Amino acid sequence: MSAKLAQFGKRHIARGIGRSTELVIEKAKGTYVWSVEGKKYLDLTTGIGVTNTGHCHPTVVKAVQDQAANLSHGQVNIFFQKPMLDLIEGLKPKMPHPSLDTFFFWNSGSEAVEAAVKLARHATKKQNIIVFQGSYHGRTMGTMALTTSKTVYGKGFGPLMPGVHVCSYPYFQQWACHKADPTKFDAEWCGQEALHQLDLVLKQRSDPEDTAAILIEPVQGEGGYVVPPKNFITGLREICDKHNILLIFDEVQSGFGRTGKMFAVEHFGVRPDIMVMAKGIASGYPLSAIVSTKELMDTQPPGSMGGTYSGNAIACAAANATLQVFKDENILENCNARSEQFFSTLKAKIPALLPDNIKVDIRGLGLMIGIEFLDAPKGFATAVANEALDLDTIVLTTSIYETLRLIPPLNITKEETDLALEKIVASIEAAAK
Ligand code: PMP
């Protein structure tokens, strides 16, 4: 049945989407999804970092059902709606800095990134945006120009939005260090080198007086699950302060507990001027947001923001329930315990499974875990993902590198983590044969 339905999907759904499996699913619960044949799969993707509380968490389901029966659409350009006001109350104390207390809600991550860029340009009266190599900020007309993880996202769609300049993310430096000798890895040096690259961009390409904002993923997602050195992120803040440039953190994938803290910027102790949120915010319902200071946000005049579904009431109710689950179930605590379980086993087991010519870099924060196979033949990470699928386990790869990424729900249990590790180890072993 699945093959026939997949065939129908292929015929009638745009090919441009692209898909990593041909599974047709119709049910999901916690860490599992079921195909139309009733086959159960361990899902280590959470729909790309969205269902952080597990699929169909009962608290979220109940909140959505209740909200749907009460008020499904309270259009923001007409009303204040209660679930959004409740959500702001819930989010405010979780923000990485108390000055971040003014919100704008949208539907998707890309729309929120665009809203952040609009705000930065309008508030500073400057045009240029600096982004980083390997970044993913979306696929809409505006965000296409900001995304640099693969050419497919922009190729043939130009001219793209002007005023975007690309700087190196501290990936290459870390990669070079790791490849030469992982025991001599020097994070501080990597951060300094990447800051030097930024300095060059500001001197050679985009003068600070023309630069509205620096937009960065505090842990790079799609581009390879790269954790930047701390001095790089603190250095960005200093550069922005010095030149009156806004610092925008895109926490669409790294936010909402994914890295073991509510937001990844907390690992670096740096204040964003604007922060972008989506994905995990509402456990699977379309909701995104930007947050900034009242002063900055209110530089935009009434009417310049908004949209028909902006901050939809049901999605806001799902987000309120998500925050409740975080509290009730100590989600961050579980995330950190399971992270330790994943990293210790992966680091202990994977190197021995690989031939001498393939090195492995296992990196990430919390349950945002990347496994890069350095010098592996092209397609190796996909081969591992295919082996995993044969073992009824769904994992994703990233970007152009041979990198596997694991994004399980943050409430994955100890036993499910053991099972996931067993499947991943077996898949790597099979692909390496
Ligand atoms: N920013 C980041 C960091 C992302 O990971 C994504 C989605 N993968 C986006 C923006 C775009 O979000 P959306 O797909 O909801 O538009």
On whether both 117 and 244 belong to a single domain, the answer is: yes
- How far away, in angstroms, is 139 Cα from ligand 1 center? 8
pTM of structure: 0.97
* Closest listed residue to residue 103, CA positions, set 293, 250, 310: 293
* Closest listed residue to residue 53, CA positions, set 411, 420, 417: 411
On whether both 121 and 182 belong to a single domain, the answer is: yes
pLDDT value of residue 121: 98
On whether both 373 and 315 belong to a single domain, the answer is: no
Q: What is the pLDDT of residues 208-245, one digit of tens each?
A: 999 999 999 999 999 999 999 999 999 999 999 999 99
Distance, first Cα to last Cα, the chain: 33
Q: Over 90: is that where the pLDDT of 185 sits?
A: no
How far apart (Å, rounded) are the C-alpha atoms in residues 122 and 329? 41
281 lines ligand 1 (CB under 6 A): no
On whether both 277 and 339 belong to a single domain, the answer is: no
In a domain, 361, yes or no: no
Average pLDDT, the chain: 96
Position 109 confidence tier, pLDDT thresholds 50, 70, 90: very high
- How far away, in angstroms, is 282 Cα from ligand 1 center? 14
* Token duo for residue 169: 């993310």
159 cis-preceded (ω within 30 degrees of 0): yes
Closest ligand 1 atom to residue 107 Cα is 15
- How far away, in angstroms, is 109 Cα from ligand 1 center? 5
* Closest listed residue to residue 309, CA positions, set 111, 143, 140, 118: 111
Q: What is the pLDDT of residues 133-156, one digit of tens each?
A: 999 999 999 999 999 999 999 999
* Percent helix, strand and coil across the chain, each to the nearest 5: 45, 15, 40
Average pLDDT over residues 34-59: 98
pLDDT value of residue 340: 98
How far apart (Å, rounded) are the C-alpha atoms in residues 130 and 206? 8
In a domain, 362, yes or no: no
- How far away, in angstroms, is 181 Cα from ligand 1 center? 33
Closest ligand 1 atom to residue 288 Cα is 15
How far apart (Å, rounded) are the C-alpha atoms in residues 232 and 219? 12
pLDDT value of residue 2: 85
Q: Which of 52, 136, 312 to mutate to test the pocket of ligand 1 (most atoms within 8 A of CB)?
A: 136
On whether both 294 and 403 belong to a single domain, the answer is: no
Q: Whose CA is nearest to atom 5 of ligand 1?
A: 253
108 lines ligand 1 (CB under 6 A): yes
Q: What is the pLDDT of residues 193-202, one digit of tens each?
A: 999 999 999 9
DSSP string, 110-138: HHHHHHHHHHHHHHHS--EEEEETT----
Closest ligand 1 atom to residue 253 Cα is 5
On whether both 12 and 149 belong to a single domain, the answer is: no
110 lines ligand 1 (CB under 6 A): yes
Position 176 confidence tier, pLDDT thresholds 50, 70, 90: confident
* Closest listed residue to residue 378, CA positions, set 401, 405, 355, 353: 401
250 lines ligand 1 (CB under 6 A): yes
Closest ligand 1 atom to residue 113 Cα is 10
CATH number for position 389: 3.90.1150.10
- How far away, in angstroms, is 349 Cα from ligand 1 center? 32
402 lines ligand 1 (CB under 6 A): no
136 lines ligand 1 (CB under 6 A): yes
Average pLDDT over residues 81-100: 98
Position 287 confidence tier, pLDDT thresholds 50, 70, 90: very high
Three-state secondary structure call for residue 298: coil
pLDDT value of residue 127: 98
Phi (first) and psi of residue 143, to 5 degrees: -70, -25
Q: Which of 20, 141, 153, 279 to mutate to test the pocket of ligand 1 (most atoms within 8 A of CB)?
A: 279
On whether both 249 and 110 belong to a single domain, the answer is: yes
pLDDT value of residue 174: 75
397 lines ligand 1 (CB under 6 A): no
138 lines ligand 1 (CB under 6 A): yes
On whether both 157 and 184 belong to a single domain, the answer is: yes
- How far away, in angstroms, is 129 Cα from ligand 1 center? 17
The DSSP letter of residue 428 is H
Closest ligand 1 atom to residue 140 Cα is 16
How far apart (Å, rounded) are the C-alpha atoms in residues 111 and 288? 8
Q: Whose CA is nearest to atom 13 of ligand 1?
A: 109
CATH number for position 278: 3.40.640.10
pLDDT > 90 in the chain, percent: 94
The residue that leads in pLDDT, 390 or 400, is: 390
* Token duo for residue 55: 């699929």
403 lines ligand 1 (CB under 6 A): no
On whether both 63 and 30 belong to a single domain, the answer is: no
How far apart (Å, rounded) are the C-alpha atoms in residues 232 and 268? 9
On whether both 269 and 280 belong to a single domain, the answer is: yes
253 lines ligand 1 (CB under 6 A): yes
113 lines ligand 1 (CB under 6 A): yes
Total of domains in the chain:
2
Average pLDDT over residues 293-319: 97
Count of residues in the chain: 433
Q: Over 80: is that where the pLDDT of 178 sits?
A: no
How far apart (Å, rounded) are the C-alpha atoms in residues 409 and 130? 32
- How far away, in angstroms, is 231 Cα from ligand 1 center? 25
In a domain, 359, yes or no: no
In a domain, 67, yes or no: yes
In a domain, 357, yes or no: no
217 lines ligand 1 (CB under 6 A): yes
On whether both 94 and 41 belong to a single domain, the answer is: no
Phi (first) and psi of residue 285, to 5 degrees: -100, 145
In a domain, 97, yes or no: yes
222 lines ligand 1 (CB under 6 A): yes
Q: Which domain holds residue 298?
A: 59-328
pLDDT value of residue 264: 98
* Closest listed residue to residue 53, CA positions, set 28, 74, 73: 28
Q: Over 90: is that where the pLDDT of 184 sits?
A: no
Q: What is the pLDDT of residues 153-173, one digit of tens each?
A: 999 999 999 999 999 998 877
372 lines ligand 1 (CB under 6 A): no
On whether both 204 and 251 belong to a single domain, the answer is: yes
pLDDT value of residue 183: 73
